[in-house]
Structures are given as structure tokens and as C-alpha cells.
């Protein structure tokens, strides 16, 4: 399964980066192949200063070895070996009318001293972070998510949409990071779902990513915007950074397993503002967004 899924994310990385370059029309992804001293490595691809994308990364990795002490207590296990692989992407458009998008699909195995698999699971999801709220964009993104889920189980979309709203939440700000999408983790073998079934589901969602995001970026990338709207985008990006550094489990896992720091922090936008006690003007488009982030919306 790990070989099959790693092959899948290699191909998906190629598909997504080619499409993003085509949309941008100027910038190309720089590729960095790296090795992890303890075992494994990855392929980091970063795009910067394009016509459409100010910064973005589409990374894959497959790492293995002894599970570090910090993660043993997190998983509540003793000394075990692990393998983890996944694709992680974040795209930050220049235009404040265009939303940031994040996605991640991953697979994890844990082994005993004899090398037998004692646990394995899939995880992942995709979510949208707008700076200005276009409701039809949120509806489209969620519609694609729901279609992918419904092919496998009609209960998946409502469950994983709720998990996404709960996970991508800045508790210290009492607001969501964006308008959500899907989030699922610890997807293991059950009576209803084999690991092959989970593989089929996760790859279904991965394959739907471009369909979910491309129509939105095409609609918004060339809209006019003002200096004030750009400032608002950079202030909201600050909240994005706060989530990734304070709450995100993937960031934590990467840092605690001696991950490659450039790849882990690739998700951070290049231009960000933190203004003291900043509040949008009442009845403004900016306030409209913040009100939606305070309470999750059923977009469908």
C-alpha cells in the first residue's frame, strides 16, 4: 500500500504543478529533491512571484525510521518504527479576490520490532481560505468535495465537513481559518472499509482537487483590487500563519520528526501584516467575511 500510494502522489504532484504553471503563465516551480538523514526524503516544488501566484508549494515526502520520543507519547505507543508519506500543497494568489487553498493527502504505517505492520491509516483533506467572500466559490468547492465523498459513502461529506470546520479553527481568535472543505484522519480498516477502499476514497478526493479550485482561481485572478484590499489580504494571511504555527498537527509532526524545515514552513505566505487590535469597518465586505468565519456555514 505504501508503495502504491507514494507512486500515486508522485503522479498527482506532476498533474497539479503542470496545471498551476499553465494558469500562472509566467512562473515555474523550482524543484528541490532532499534526503532525510534518519530515512526517506522528498520532492519539494515551490512557485514564487508569478502572474497569479505570489507563492505556492506542492510537496511530496516519504519518511521512515524510529518514531521519535515526542511522537511516541503523542500516539501513546512505545518504541516503534514508522513510515509516513503524503502530498501537501498551499497556494497563495496575489489577488486578494482569489482565495488561498490548502490540501493534504497522507498515509501512515507503524511497525513492531519484528517489522510487522501493527497500525496503518489514511488522512487528508482540502480547504479554502478566501479574503473576500464570494458565496458561489464556497458552494462550488464544497459541491466538488461532496460529489467525491458521495461516491463512497453519503455520510462522509457531512462528517468530514464538520471535522474540517472544527480542525481549521483559530481558537485563540474564535474564528475559522476559512470556509472549510474536508478533513479526515485515522481512516483504518473496518467491517465496511478495507485499506483498498480508503485508498480509493482518498485518491478520489485528490483527483478532484483541480476541479474544486481551478474554476475559482480562473474567475478571480484578474479582478481589480485596491491597496486597502491588499492590506486586508495581508492581515488575514496573518491569521493563516497563526493557525499553522500554533495549531497545525502536520507542522508539529514535521518539527518533531526532524523534518525538513524549508518544506514544513513552505505554507507561509511571503507578505503578511499584524496590526494591533484591527477590526474591519461595520457593514463592509471585510466584516461580512469575518462574520461567516465566526460560525460555520452549511454551504450546500
Annotated catalytic residues are 102
Sign, CA torsion 213/214/216/217: positive
Question: Which residues make Cβ contacts (< 8 Å) with residue 3, sequence separation at least 6?
Answer: none
Kind plus residue range of the DSSP H or E element containing 74: helix 69-75
Q: Which three cell numbers stand for residue 67?
A: 518514531
| 3-class secondary-structure state, position 143 | helix
Which of 219, 97, 226, 244 is CA-nearest to residue 168? 244
| 3-class secondary-structure state, position 33 | strand
Number of other CB atoms surrounding residue 267 within 10 Å: 26
- φ/ψ of residue 61, rounded to 5: -150, 155
Which of 205, 46, 60, 63 is CA-nearest to residue 125? 205
- φ/ψ region of 58 (left if φ > 0, alpha if ψ in -120 to 50, else beta) reads beta
Partners of 61 in beta bridges = 42, 86
Amino acid at each position: 500500500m505504501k508503495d502504491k500510494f507514494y507512486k500515486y502522489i508522485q503522479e498527482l504532484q506532476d498533474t497539479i504543478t503542470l496545471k498551476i504553471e499553465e494558469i500562472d503563465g509566467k512562473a515555474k516551480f523550482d524543484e528541490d529533491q532532499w534526503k532525510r538523514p534518519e530515512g526517506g526524503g522528498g520532492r519539494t516544488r515551490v512557485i514564487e512571484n508569478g502572474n497569479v501566484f505570489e507563492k505556492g508549494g506542492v510537496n511530496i515526502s516519504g519518511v521512515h525510521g524510529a518514531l521519535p520520543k515526542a511522537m511516541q507519547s503523542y500516539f501513546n505507543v512505545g518504541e516503534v518504527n514508522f513510515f509516513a508519506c503524503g502530498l501537501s500543497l498551499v497556494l497563495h494568489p496575489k489577488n486578494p479576490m482569489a482565495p488561498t487553498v490548502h490540501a493534504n493527502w497522507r498515509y501512515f504505517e507503524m511497525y513492531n520490532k519484528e517489522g510487522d505492520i501493527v497500525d496503518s491509516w489514511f488522512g487528508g483533506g482540502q480547504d479554502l481560505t478566501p479574503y473576500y467572500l464570494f458565496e458561489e466559490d464556497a458552494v462550488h468547492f464544497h459541491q466538488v468535495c461532496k460529489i467525491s465523498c458521495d461516491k463512497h459513502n453519503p455520510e462522509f461529506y457531512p462528517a468530514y465537513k464538520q471535522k474540517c470546520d472544527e480542525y481549521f479553527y483559530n481558537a485563540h481568535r474564535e474564528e475559522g481559518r476559512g470556509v472549510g472543505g474536508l478533513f479526515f484522519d485515522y481512516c483504518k480498516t473496518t467491517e465496511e472499509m478495507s485499506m483498498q477502499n480508503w485508498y480509493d476514497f482518498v485518491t478520489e478526493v485528490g483527483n478532484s482537487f483541480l476541479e474544486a479550485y481551478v474554476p475559482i482561481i480562473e474567475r478571480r485572478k484578474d479582478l481589480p483590487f485596491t491597496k486597502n484590499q491588499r492590506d486586508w489580504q495581508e492581515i488575514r494571511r496573518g491569521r493563516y500563519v497563526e493557525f499553522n504555527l500554533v495549531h497545525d498537527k502536520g507542522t508539529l509532526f514535521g518539527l518533531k520528526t526532524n523534518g525538513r524545515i524549508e518544506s514544513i514552513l513552505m505554507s507561509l505566505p511571503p507578505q503578511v501584516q499584524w496590526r494591533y487590535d484591527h477590526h474591519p469597518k461595520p457593514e463592509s465586505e471585510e466584516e461580512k467575511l469575518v462574520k461567516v468565519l465566526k460560525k460555520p456555514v452549511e454551504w450546500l
